A = this chain, B = another copy of it.
């Protein structure tokens, strides 16, 4: 519990490597997470090779963490292995569809979070790469992911070389609903986001980006509609070519 409450994303790592033994114990703990029907619908691709990291860097929009972390784990939703097992056992697999993709994606993210918590328990630091879905196509090509395998996230992993301040979170009331969803009024929204907006870092952020509000930094700079539409179309195409749609 304390460990969870102390979580911080780490973006600067020491040169010190992570041993195969350490890595295996993390992934083993990952595999103990709940999984639909005990099917374990995931695969983990380990990147340590400097040339592979160099190739992954632009795919992850040149986030410096890709090169600096000693290990990168690409976490995939995987119905290929299970489907092959079915086919070799006189069973007709029917997992080339959207429900199966979502099921495998959930399995994969549960595995990912267990790996991260196990890593932090051992003193390692982690950074999720949300860019994974954006350029799934390029990752599939580089890592040779077959049909029915789709990269859902990636984790940069290593020994921390920084101790960042913990980021803010909304008050619990913002995410919690009793029995039914109570939709937000303007008044509640302004109240729930007041602390976030008051932070020095937020004020700085607005200034640096020459915006009027913090929300505009998100909509106009960080997560823009045109990009979201572009990458949505791209991901849908990739889900089709990987056999999930």
Q: Which residues of A contact B (CB under 8 A)?
A: 1, 4-7, 9, 24-25, 27-29, 31-34, 36-40, 42-49, 52, 76, 78, 80-82, 84-86, 88-95, 97-100, 102-103, 105-106, 109-110, 112-114, 116-118, 121-122, 126, 128, 130, 133-134, 142-146, 149, 152-153, 167-170, 172, 174-181, 183-184, 186, 189-190, 192-193, 212-216, 218-220, 222-226, 228-229, 231-232, 235-236
A110: B residues at CB distance < 8 A: 109, 112-113, 128
Most buried by B among A76, A81, A235: A81
Is the beta-carbon distance between A223 and B37 smaller than 8 angstroms? yes
Is the beta-carbon distance between B117 and A172 smaller than 8 angstroms? no
CA distance A29 to B6 in the complex (A): 9
Is the beta-carbon distance between A130 and B103 smaller than 8 angstroms? yes
Smallest beta-carbon distance A171→chain B, Å: 10
CA distance A44 to B45 in the complex (A): 31
Other CB < 8 Å A-B pairs besides A84-B184, A113-B114, 13 of them?
Answer: A1-B122, A4-B117, A31-B172, A78-B175, A85-B189, A88-B190, A91-B218, A92-B219, A94-B226, A94-B229, A99-B134, A102-B235, A117-B117
Smallest beta-carbon distance A167→chain B, Å: 5
Given known A9-B34, A38-B167, contact A179–B46 (CB-CB < 8 A): yes
In the complex, the count of this chain's copies comes to: 2
A9: B residues at CB distance < 8 A: 34
Is the beta-carbon distance between B184 and A32 smaller than 8 angstroms? no
A95: B residues at CB distance < 8 A: 223, 225, 228
Is the beta-carbon distance between B5 and A29 smaller than 8 angstroms? yes
Find the B residue at minimum CB distance from A29: B4
Is the beta-carbon distance between A27 and B134 smaller than 8 angstroms? no
Is the beta-carbon distance between A144 and B99 smaller than 8 angstroms? no
CA distance A76 to B182 in the complex (A): 13
Contact of A89 among B37, B40, B215 (CB under 8 A): B215
